[in-house]
Amino acid sequence: MTKRIGVLTGGGDCPGLNAVIRGLLYKATKKYGYEVVGIKYGWKGMVKNITVDINLENTEDIVREGGTILKSSRTNPYKIEGGVDAVVKTMQDLKLDALVAIGGEDTCGVASKLYKDRGINVIGVPKTIDNDLSGTDVTFGFDTCVNIATEMIDNLHTTAKSHERVLVCEVMGRHAGWIASYSGIAGNADYILVPEEEVDVDELCKVVKEAYKCQEYAIVVCAEGAKLAGEDITKDAELDAFGHVKLGGIGERLAKIIEEKTGCETRSTVLGHIQRGGRPSAYDRVLGTRLGTKAADMIANGDWGKMAAINGTQTVAVPLEVAVGSLKTLDLSIHEDSKFFFGANKLAAKV
């Protein structure tokens, strides 16, 4: 009998999701003869049995498109009364033999639990612009996001220079500073703040002041999850279904502190969802395609409870438990290297 596979995308969207969906659909259909059913709105679609028709025709060109044709939500079936039973029922009602969950720590975390608690044949595919999932060298979406952020930081340089200002650029990165570090290095920032390292405000202001003295402007890149005096800067007290606070505002807070302590005119810019939207980079299109085709192979192998991942140039299957067990935070040796280019350090190289 033909196998039926469900596929969903959960959590924040991310460039490259459509490449995964197409990769999975094409290989599952053409090589293995499976039927693929699109589940709309992430786990919400499994709780409420909401599907969308996806086929070789309507996915043929989606590799180039950002976002997700399946739409997404941050629904957590474990936080809804009867939610997990409803997911099991939808599996039965749709006669699904397997489910591919494309998502980050939250979506893959639910997949991992459903496999362990309910024996559902799940396969995960890692997604997040934050690049903080373990078990894989990199997540798709990160490259596109860093390219966008870098271009935006390039733009900030010219306006900062013209007005002789300090500009603080707040980028995403809830628990990990991958985006801030990579876009900060590529964008030649004078200071980079990441959640993994305690912020020394006096040191930051000293570096910014020195940089400003030499260049007549300065650029600071800051991860939204960086902490001031050990605390998260949040928009409000509300938590989402996975218990996350809504971060945001550290850029503005820092700008005020910098202006006060250095006397330099300082403004802030929040890149926000601009860095998560738009067309995927070529790298993310290829990575997404390969992870999607790997997921089809994993179904054929019965690799349940595992996640498609990238290791060097090879796609591999790793246990979902490993992927969601701990976050992959920024390798601090990268951050240390970036410090040679902070503020006056960079300028001292001229001497």
Q: Which residues bind ligand F6P (CB under 6 A)?
A: 11-12, 104, 128-130, 172-174, 224, 247, 276
240 catalytic per annotation: no
Residues 6+ apart with CB under 8 A from 196: 176, 177, 329, 330, 332, 335
The residue (of 96 and 129) whose beta carbon lies closer to ligand F6P is: 129
Q: Residue 299 and residue 122: Cα distance in Å, rounded?
A: 9
Measured between its terminal Cα atoms, the distance across the chain in Å is: 74
The residue (of 275 and 293) whose beta carbon lies closer to ligand F6P is: 275
* CA dist list (Å): 123 to 21, 35, 143, 156, 299: 13, 16, 23, 41, 8
- How many Cβ atoms sit within 10 Å of the Cβ of residue 208? 26
Q: Residue 344 and residue 243: Cα distance in Å, rounded?
A: 40
Least distance from C-beta 297 to ligand F6P, angstroms? 27
- Helix (H) or strand (E) run with residue 6 in it: strand 4-9
Residue 17 token pair: 């999701």
Place of tokens 């039927």: 35
Which of 130, 132, 143, 284 is an active site residue?
A: 130
Q: Residue 101 and residue 112: Cα distance in Å, rounded?
A: 10
Least distance from C-beta 171 to ligand F6P, angstroms? 9
Q: Are the CB atoms for 34 and 7 separated by under 8 Å?
A: no
Residue nearest ligand F6P, Cβ-based: 12
The residue (of 65 and 303) whose beta carbon lies closer to ligand F6P is: 65
The residue (of 128 and 293) whose beta carbon lies closer to ligand F6P is: 128
The residue (of 135 and 343) whose beta carbon lies closer to ligand F6P is: 135
Catalytic residues, which ones?
Answer: 130
